[in-house]
Structure 1
């Protein structure tokens, strides 16, 4: 008979949870009803609702140099150190960007790690991602890292089709590798690959229960990273596992007994859900969300780190020391130094993310920028709101565009009485007199302004 016990967190009486044992099936369960390969995956519901369970403290971890680097040309050691410096500044004195993970395979990888460690920053903590063998564990220890990531694929797609094992064989192999890691005094971070296609109660929870036993035995933290490798996770209330993000987090915390501070969510954006799924993981009990700068990662990418900075601020009502102006500096560094092409409409970073183009919107923006700007983008991102120029912009609109685009302030600023502004407006008006219906692009305006400056023999 199940015992009635008091939940010390909710102060409610609950029936004691079931004991979950490994279900060592003979045939793989690939949830063909949810993932028919020749159809679009299905989102099913059973209307089982789990409660919000926001941890007392939440944070961001970074995978720019690991998962992010798997989808682009490798960074140089110098570039890694520069980006690491930016992450340190962005995370602020309270270390809201808690960790950053690195490869250790090559000398270049290790050189970058040594240089980052020389910075002496408490945050982001330098962690690694290695092959699961004793030689690599010793390498982590020799370098002086406290924690390393270990791949522990958990869906039957991987266990049966890739590893050619049974669930029992896979679990035993994983546990032996993790025990080896613990023997060296290193804290393992278990990357539960493909968790959104796994048997949560038949494999994931029994496996995590064993991990918690190892943690108690060795008195070394074991972190669980729930990896939505294919982006199948959904955050809809009442959706069934394994696709339900809140269902997965609830299972880890309630049934497997994993503390929130040892759980992090790693999302991919295959179905445009990386950000909402990461936020949901926070709301339902994961302290960490694992991200990559600008979402750069395999296939459609990872959860964008900069997005979760602003998700954090919205949930907590504070940035808690994070310096969001660094996001703009990082975007400029990626474009100028790394040749990364930032899509113009990328939130917070793209060239046009806070540019108002519609004439009627521009008119409202000129009267009060709060009408059409998401927040004070100049304060938080060093990105003043821009107004696009069209036939309805008028002299004031053109002057506003020039002052913001060229950062003209004080005596350098132009107004609607400026000869330069009048000359530019004449050129703009001619475009629309000739039948133009679209707004002027930045490139067209800068070319016009350059021509007018040459004609007037002035410089901006």
Structure 2
């Protein structure tokens, strides 16, 4: 069948048939994943086209995957974080959904408390085991959408479930039918897809899911789970590790539209952000993230990172209030006792601090030289200079300009007497063996000494 594609007005072949390959032994892709060695990145030089959807958005798993690797949040903490997500997402609701556990009394209380806030976004969704009892729980709580696990690699099908592919597919389809019969929207979590047989199992299974959706009129979603962080965004990489190849297959061969494709990636190989961006670029409308990237093992894709990926790809924040990210960081550290590594982009205490004197001199002349963007406007975080033996007079002058705007240029310029005297004091500290940075309180004390001496005519 030939079909005129709307995105490029070209006739495209659509008569692809992908049947389940029901093999007797698992396909473990040992050439890619030897296990006793580092995984290998293989290329087949097949390049699929970039296909950015008309609309893209972010979904959240802070209260599901994010809670699997830390002490559970209290109801009050979940409500506060959910409120942050709502404010961060802006009036267009670009943080579209947030998923919750439903099992304990505390889980359900958190759902009810967040629902009582009356927000349209993020929409509250569930995550459950694939059982009739759990589906009844979703129905009783009037949750409109829930995620269920449909593991798709032979590692899981053969070695965990102890099934063959045909048995696993029939089991999964039966569970999905059960949910659809209850009128529940299902989000199928294709676990471990970057080690799965994409055209031997995933695409045939996805085609059957699409047929079920068409028969019932209830839209099914696919969450594309890079469970082990094996995904690669580089063009020309062979499946099953190719992010673009996987999204292309589900979009073009399984027939799922962009708005029903969601990427969920882990950071085992430092690729969570680049892979999520690639999923957007190649046709998935949604990327699933957690606040601060907190999640299983090395964590999920950090939600705050994708706010800035969105802005870079679209050329606008589209109403998202990025200043809330700084509020979130402060809340995690002060209220939750979570230590954010100081050099964490956008969040860490040092992310826009410079220590080198030559950099401080550049910032003193124009902060744009050494600051990634206007961090004061966009993140409510002014660029700062940490004072050490490397800061020089420029660093001291910049600290004075930030902290004491009431001083005159003659008092806070880098050639001024107070700045030169403070710098001389700093130099003596390090000549005597100091190795730590100079604290703000120490600088304040020295400033008062020098200003006092200046007013007494001693400088």
* Shorter-chain TM-score range: over 0.9
Q: 1:76 maps to what in 2?
A: 74
- Equivalent position to 1:445, from 439, 443, 446: 439
Q: 2:367 maps to what in 1?
A: 369
- Equivalent position to 2:412, from 391, 416, 423: 416
Q: Name stretches of at least 5 consecutive residues in structure 1 with no aligned partner.
A: none
Alignment check: 8 A CA contact 2:226 2:264 kept: yes
Q: Name stretches of at least 5 consecutive residues in structure 2 with no aligned partner.
A: 453-459
Q: 2:457 maps to what in 1?
A: none
* 1:395 Cα offset (Å): 4.8
Q: How does 1:131-150 map to 2 (within 5 A)?
A: 131-150=129-148
Residues in 1 aligned to 2:391 and 2:106: alpha-carbon distance in whole angstroms: 53
* 1:424 Cα offset (Å): 3.8
The number of aligned residues is 450
**1:396-448 CA-partner distances (Å, limit 9, x unpaired):** 532422553x5x55579995279975664342121244476x7x62xx32352
Alignment check: 8 A CA contact 1:362 1:388 kept: no
Q: 2:455 maps to what in 1?
A: none
Alignment check: 8 A CA contact 1:279 1:311 kept: yes
> In 2 relative to 1, CA 201–402 (structure 1 residues): closer, same or farther, beyond 3 Å?
same
* 1:74 Cα offset (Å): 0.5
Residues in 1 aligned to 2:292 and 2:390: alpha-carbon distance in whole angstroms: 35
Matched, 1:386 2:398: no
* 1:77 Cα offset (Å): 0.5
Alignment check: 8 A CA contact 1:127 1:147 kept: yes
**1:25 is paired with a residue of what secondary structure?**
coil
> In 2 relative to 1, CA 415–304 (structure 1 residues): closer, same or farther, beyond 3 Å?
farther
Q: How does 1:45-124 map to 2 (within 5 A)?
A: 45-124=43-122
* 1:140 Cα offset (Å): 1.3
* 1:6 Cα offset (Å): 3.1
Alignment check: 8 A CA contact 1:45 1:238 kept: yes
Alignment check: 8 A CA contact 1:65 1:101 kept: yes
* 1:255 Cα offset (Å): 0.2
Q: 1:162 maps to what in 2?
A: 160
* 1:337 Cα offset (Å): 0.6
Q: How does 1:393-432 map to 2 (within 5 A)?
A: 393-395=391-393, 397-404=395-402, 408-410=404-406, 415-416=411-412, 424-432=422-430
What TM-score, normalized to structure 1? 0.93
**1:235 is paired with a residue of what secondary structure?**
coil
Alignment check: 8 A CA contact 1:395 1:416 kept: no
Alignment check: 8 A CA contact 2:355 2:391 kept: no
**1:156-199 CA-partner distances (Å, limit 9, x unpaired):** 00000000011111111111111111111110000000000000
* 1:348 Cα offset (Å): 0.4
- Equivalent position to 2:42, from 41, 44, 49: 44
* 1:7 Cα offset (Å): 2.9
Q: How does 1:261-410 map to 2 (within 5 A)?
A: 261-391=259-389, 393-395=391-393, 397-404=395-402, 408-410=404-406
Alignment check: 8 A CA contact 2:357 2:393 kept: no
Alignment check: 8 A CA contact 2:357 2:394 kept: no
